[in-house]
Amino acid sequence: MAQINHLSDLTPQSLERTWLTAPHPTLPIVATCSSDKTVRVYSLTNFTLLSTITGGHKRSVRTAAWKPHTTGESVLATGSFDATVGIWRRWDSYGREDGSGLKAADTGNSDGEKSDENDEEDEEEWRFAVLLDGHDSEVKSVSWSPSGMLLATCSRDKSIWIWEDLDDGDNNFETVAVMQEHGGDVKCVAWHPVEECLASGSYDDTIRLWREDLDDWGQVACIKGHSGTVWFLDWEGSENVPSSSSVSSSGDVASQWRSQTALSGPRLLSCSDDRSVRVWHRQPKESLMASQSSSAATGIPSIIRPTGTDETWEEDAVLPHAHELAVYAVAWSKRSGLVASTGADGRIALYEERFVTSENKDPDVMDTGSGDGLLKTEWVLIAIHDGAHGIYEINHCAWAKRADRGSESGEELLITTADDGSVKVWTVQR
Amino acid sequence: MAEMQNENPTILNAADLPTRLRPTATPKGEYAGIFTSVPLPADFLESAPTSDSEDDNLLEEPIDEQEIYDLISSISDPEHPISLGELAVVSLPDISIKPTLPDVPGSPLQTVTVLITPTITHCSLATVIGLGVRVRLEQSLPSRFRMNVRIKEGTHSTGDEVNKQLADKERVAAALENGALMGVIAKMMETCH
Strand order in the sheet with A216-224: A186-191, A197-202, A206-213, A216-224
Any chain A CB within 8 A of the CB of B104?
A: yes
In one-letter notation, the amino acid at residue A74 is S
Residue among A81, A137, A344 minimizing CB distance to B146: A344
Model confidence at A95, pLDDT cuts 50, 70, 90, reads very low
ipTM of the complex: 0.85
CA distance B65 to chain A (A): 21
Interchain contact, B168 vs A419, CB within 8 Å? no
Nearest chain A residue (CA) to B102: A324
Query: What CATH number was assigned to the domain covering residues B65-189?
Result: 3.30.300.130
Residue pair A21/A32 in contact by the 8 Å Cβ criterion: yes
Q: Is the pTM of this model over 0.90?
A: no
Dump pLDDT digits (tens) for A257-293: 999 999 999 999 999 999 999 999 999 865 455 445 4
| Domains observed in chain A | 226-288+312-356+372-386 (2.130.10.10)
Instruction: Write phi, then psi, for A285 (nearest 5 degrees).
Output: -135, 100
CA distance B61 to chain A (A): 17
Reported as half-sphere exposure (CB side, CA atoms, 13 A), residue A378 has a value of 13
Interface test with A, best of B111, B143, B146, B170 (most A CBs within 10 A): B170
> What is the rounded CA–CA span in Å between residue B69 and residue B72?
5
Interface test with A, best of B98, B103, B107, B109 (most A CBs within 10 A): B109
Any chain B CB within 8 A of the CB of A387?
A: yes
Q: Which residues of B touch A60 (CB under 8 A)?
A: 173-174, 177
Element (H, E) at A401: strand A394-401
- E-strand stretches of A123-276: 127-133, 139-144, 150-155, 160-165, 173-179, 186-191, 197-202, 206-213, 216-224, 230-235, 268-272
Dump pLDDT digits (tens) for A155-208: 999 999 999 999 999 999 999 999 999 999 999 999 999 999 999 999 999 999
Instruction: Write phi, then psi, for A68 (nearest 5 degrees).
Output: -80, 165
Any chain B CB within 8 A of the CB of A136?
A: no
> What is the rounded CA–CA span in Å between residue A345 and residue A322?
10
Model confidence at A251, pLDDT cuts 50, 70, 90, reads low
Q: What's the pLDDT at A59?
A: 97
> What is the rounded CA–CA span in Å between residue A92 and residue A105?
11
Query: Exposed (0-12), middle (13-18) or buried (19+): which is A420, by Cβ within 10 Å?
Result: middle
Helix B169-176 to helix B179-188 angle, to the nearest 10 degrees?
90
Residue among B104, B146, B170 minimizing CB distance to A386: B104
Interchain contact, B174 vs A346, CB within 8 Å? no
- E-strand stretches of A236-290: 268-272, 277-282
Task: State the sign of the Cα–Cα–Cα–Cα dihedral A234, A237, A238, A240.
Answer: negative
Residue pair A257/A242 in contact by the 8 Å Cβ criterion: yes
Q: Which residues of B touch A321 (CB under 8 A)?
A: none
Query: Exposed (0-12), middle (13-18) or buried (19+): which is B56, by Cβ within 10 Å?
Result: exposed
Closest CA to A88 of A48, A120, A56: A56
> What's the 3-state SS for B80-143?
CCCECCCCCCCCHHHEEEEECCCCCCCCCCEEEEEEECCCCCCCCCHHHHHHHHHHHHHHHCCC
Interchain contact, A419 vs B100, CB within 8 Å? no
Dump pLDDT digits (tens) for A277-336: 999 999 986 545 544 544 444 454 444 444 568 999 999 999 999 999 999 999 999 999
**Secondary structure class of A52 (helix, strand, coil):** strand
- Count of pairs with CB atoms under 8 A, one residue in A, one in B: 54
